[in-house]
Structure 1
């Protein structure tokens, strides 16, 4: 495992010597001639490790170390010092530094062994944190996230794009699992050792959204009593997920465009540029092409975000996944509540299969939690909400007609979006071209070119 290393050393000859040793071993190395320049680089980029002289003019290596301790993901530190300052280096280790070496550096292998051990230990730590992050977020198994035939195309696309750095734009109705898919992309990517930072653009007041995204400096506005990092800084080296991107106000759209183009931004009230070392995944339940046409969304930002679009089908188009999802939520909520239920009676499952699920998987989750609370042995039809029961009882024809109407509109919309290209429309809908041809005939859409 090779690392991104910052080397801070005021002796130019020794700095060049150490840089050569590290780069010959495959590490990526940036250098600074003093502590002030080193601090500037630390504020610009994310490093796995800092190798620094302990004693330097202006700002010492120890001061540099202490200034990074409050960062969300501070880098590891190895000090190089003259023999007479070993006590200071030992003191720094008590504060969290990895180790130290003394000048002159007699054996380069000693430095490499120390550096490689530190970077490997950090890698293991980050992998552990990623696993804990997945557990904490309640991420279900991948086979559940992509359950149903309509999700198989999406699953393949997710695996194709995860290992790249491409921006991803996830389309889907509310409750279809857009954040789960975004988290899956992150965990399958090389960035999974760093954080996944979500932000719902519709949930933050417009006057606070810029600060949430980019942070602010002390005194930037009334109440800004201290500097604060934004989501782009917190996601350093990882992934930022911008949900409901269609709700972002136009002034911030322009600032986000700059981040995507130049990979830099400034905090609110600040002037220094900070590098945005993040992958951007955005999501929307809006038709962004229509938003662009109505001049509510910037066309240039749309094309920057829409590098790799993913369309998530609604639950009504994934009814074959319903038994698996129902079983998952049954066991999950039974464990949480402390009940031992036998299952779901067939009549209840039939009712759920007929219901069109306007709230998608989020609505199913709520229905199942309610059912587990009310059930005594099995989740029965009587434990379901009235609207779910009615869709299978008093108004069966209406439920079927609604499903067909929605299906027809989805197909027509996909065809319009792709200029009548049936192959692209079928891919977006997650069905085969033969199935699409059958549906076009069924819904009398064969003239829809």
Structure 2
């Protein structure tokens, strides 16, 4: 879902939910007063009832908070537009982690507390305006409204969880992604897909403009594709959606203990460049050169029409857009935004999982856009023309059993 659509849905859901909640809570409160069920209670008992109703309201609110957080993480939408605003603003600065969830929860709670004010004004205003309504009746109305609100919040939370459970076939990057699991599952050795991809990048980057910055869009927590451009680029800029992925890269740059070992991939890169037996010193030299060339780690979001405020003569985006969504239309949108970062006449290199509906990481299945070479060719036209004589390469990898896909797509294209 595009950012504009997510906001439109959230605004509509907020309006509908607010109206429904207020109408239901007021009806329950008024109905409880009219029924006379609590008319014989003394004032102290009425106050106790009100306090108990607030406890019930808190439990309902807690369920609503949890459901709202799940809805934001899974779809980017909310039934509370202020909660979405707080979530989006905090996520842009700090990432989609605890800070964003806390900001969303605070805004959600503040809004729900603010909704209590009209009930107090109505109840006590009526009690002051007419002798027909007593203070105890006003308190009973408030208690009934609280119980109605608690029931509504609980029902809405249950409905939200049901809908998400029915439609969520895949794990969420915001809540389920663990960089260490991905590195362990895919990058202990150079697997068939990367044997082909790294060889492709080494060859394709010979067509890149030398001594210019190169952008890698959607790196994940990985660096295995980056070593191929170290001698070509003046600077290397790495972008990813998840701050946790960028933090993993930063650990490698800083030579932190426990950082992932990319030396097998560096060695293979050097072999693809024509060095059949790279020495340890040559591998270390390429690592050091790559560290020196990486000047920017930046958070990017392919949902935004302009993920960065600049363009590049060369952009590499491998296994990014196709591995970020299970919806083909959303993939096309992501591709349009990513390729929009390529300068006129610039080079775009991409790789994608072919006909993959989901790939496994740490026992969880993340979405695949289920695309093929025809889809990729359509996404690049008319602004790009494939440079390879066969257009888009289809490489069988026989990794369906291990990871969930059996072939990859490789493409180099130049912007008109």
TM bucket (normalised to shorter chain) is under 0.3
